[in-house]
Amino acid sequence: MSGAAAWAAVLDRLDDAAKLTGVDPDIHRMLRSPRRVLEVSVPVRMDDGRVEVFTGWRVHHDTTRGPAKGGIRFHPDVDALETTALAAGMTFKTAVANLPFGGAKGGVRCDPTVMSLGELERLTRRYTWEISPLLGPDKDVPAPDVNTDGRVMAWLMDTLSMVMGEDLPGSVTGKPLAIGGTLGHSGATSTGVLVTARAAFNALDLPFAGGRAIIQGFGKVGGPLAFLLSSAGMRVIAVSDVHGAIHNPGGLDAGELSEHASRTGSVVGFEPADPIAEHDMWALECELAVPAALAGAIDEDVARRLGAKVVVEAANGPTTLEADPVLDQRGIICVPDILANAGGVTASYFEWAQSRQGYAWDEETVAVRLRQRMDEAFTAVWSKAESLNVSLRRAAFGLAVERVADAIAARGLFP
Ligand code: GLU
């Protein structure tokens, strides 16, 4: 999916939400443009001595409800509009989860899979320095996203702290525990997907235990999710990654699969399971389908062939604009990304709060509060969908736009 298509989809969903909830047209117009877009060039000394120049972005979509919040991704498809679309997605996600944040996203257009650790560190540090005027615990708080992790966040936090001349643990989330990260951050997105999936099944009166699930993507979110769904009694019958997909109607052993994937680098070749084309995986009859990879995975064609009763969006933007009405017509319930994958940013909120307070919570406190927040967000969206008689996506966008609009109205327009 191109960045332009991703941004067009966000605008379409925003326009619909504004109409649905009747927000002030001036506020609606304000939300149609990002607050600021910074494009930077990132020169990096490569291991062979040559200098390669990458392009990076950091976008703040809206910061009315609090500091800008959102991940940083390293991927060849990153561009200004994709980053803007994802930043707007964060504005709406933090509003649905009722967190005191605005929406941001950043990224560098690069292929980290062909870069050495040293090259990645130099890229991260130079990119951080270039976007540093925007960053800080009260301004903009990055986190991991596609192809970035705790190690990248540690480099980012170190670079910013060195530049500013003070220790700034609250300037980034998803940090390693050794420098003020929180317990429970790494699996938080997957836990949130589990909580919202279970809540959706309950609300729909569908049994969760014994249900069949398919997962597209076996990375930071899809991997732990296979384990969580199996532990909750679901049968995970197929999973895919960039290399291919595997299927076992009797259910895959999530623990053994994860061990196989970390040993071989892919789910492909796992036994007992048969290879299956990802195209055919979507059509498998099951109760739950979880897209946990990149944007645009469920297009109109996949939506027509989808064999699941419920879709829970672990990835950002996995369902295209054209696929939405097809899912609705087919009676397939879709729990949208800005609700379903908000567990990650909710754990980030907990980490930010702990870093600022200099007081670490225990694991149980993080787990209980995460479940509680995700349940509250689900209930708020579900009630909105019932009262407006619309899909969960339209309700989630409606709820988010209302909350952001309330904040904009309360603060008023400067100057
Ligand atoms: N990258 C995650 C997301 O898209 C987490 C963002 C954050 O914690 O700031 O929601």
Judge whether residue 129 has pLDDT over 90.
yes
Confidence of residue 404 (pLDDT cuts 50, 70, 90): very high
Between CA 292 and CA 294 the distance in angstroms is 7
Residue 243 has phi, psi (to 5 degrees) of: -90, -20
Q: Count Cβ atoms below 10 Å from residue 54 Cβ, excluding itself.
A: 19
The stretch 132-141 carries a mean pLDDT of: 98
**What class does CATH assign to 188-335?**
alpha beta
The stretch 392-399 carries a mean pLDDT of: 98
The ligand 1 atom nearest the CA atom of 69: 9
To test the pocket of ligand 1, the residue of 153, 189, 366 to mutate (highest count of ligand atoms within 8 Å of its CB) is 189
Whole-number Å distance, alpha carbon 194 to ligand 1 midpoint, is 17
Half-sphere exposure of 272 (CA within 13 A, CB side): 4
To test the pocket of ligand 1, the residue of 145, 191, 313, 346 to mutate (highest count of ligand atoms within 8 Å of its CB) is 145
Residue 344 has phi, psi (to 5 degrees) of: -65, -50
Tokens of 34: 């990002």
State which amino acid sits at residue 6: A
Q: Which residues pair with 143 in a beta bridge?
A: 71
Judge whether residue 1 has pLDDT over 90.
no
Predicted pLDDT of residue 141:
98
Pocket of ligand 1 (CB under 6 A): 69-71, 143, 145, 173, 316, 341, 344-345, 348
Residue 95: in which H helix or E strand, if any?
helix 80-96
| Residue that the structure tokens 């609090």 belong to | 66
Whole-number Å distance, alpha carbon 336 to ligand 1 midpoint, is 15
The ligand 1 atom nearest the CA atom of 342: 10
Whole-number Å distance, alpha carbon 35 to ligand 1 midpoint, is 19
The stretch 391-413 carries a mean pLDDT of: 98
Q: Which residues pair with 54 in a beta bridge?
A: 42
Under a CB-based contact definition with an 8 Å cutoff, are residues 297 and 223 in contact? Answer: no
Catalytic residue positions, numbered: 105
Judge whether residue 148 has pLDDT over 90.
yes
Q: Which residues pair with 213 in a beta bridge?
A: 236, 288
To test the pocket of ligand 1, the residue of 348, 349, 370 to mutate (highest count of ligand atoms within 8 Å of its CB) is 348
| Residue that the structure tokens 């996600």 belong to | 93
Whole-number Å distance, alpha carbon 49 to ligand 1 midpoint, is 34
Judge whether residue 410 has pLDDT over 90.
yes
Between CA 6 and CA 1 the distance in angstroms is 7
| Residue that the structure tokens 């899979």 belong to | 113
The stretch 218-226 carries a mean pLDDT of: 96
Residues of the chain with CATH 3.40.50.720: 188-335
Q: Count Cβ atoms below 10 Å from residue 253 Cβ, excluding itself.
A: 18
CATH architecture of 3-167: 3-Layer(aba) Sandwich (3.40)
Give the CA angle between residues 117, 143, 294 to the nearest 5°. 80
Residue 374: in which H helix or E strand, if any?
helix 363-388
Which residues, including other chains, have CB under 8 Å from residue 211's CB and lie 6 or more apart?
A: 201, 233, 234, 235, 286, 287, 288
Q: What is the pTM of this model?
A: 0.96
Which residues, including other chains, have CB under 8 Å from residue 33's CB and lie 6 or more apart?
A: none
Q: Which residues pair with 140 in a beta bridge?
A: 68, 136
Between CA 378 and CA 97 the distance in angstroms is 9
N-to-C CA span, the chain: 38
> Could you tell me which of 124, 133, 129, 144 has the C-alpha nearest to residue 60?
133
Residues of the chain with CATH 3.40.50.10860: 3-167
Which residues, including other chains, have CB under 8 Å from residue 45's CB and lie 6 or more apart?
A: 51, 122
The stretch 57-62 carries a mean pLDDT of: 98
The stretch 94-100 carries a mean pLDDT of: 98
Residue 344: in which H helix or E strand, if any?
helix 343-357
Confidence of residue 311 (pLDDT cuts 50, 70, 90): very high
Whole-number Å distance, alpha carbon 255 to ligand 1 midpoint, is 26
The ligand 1 atom nearest the CA atom of 349: 8
Between CA 306 and CA 280 the distance in angstroms is 9
Judge whether residue 83 has pLDDT over 90.
yes
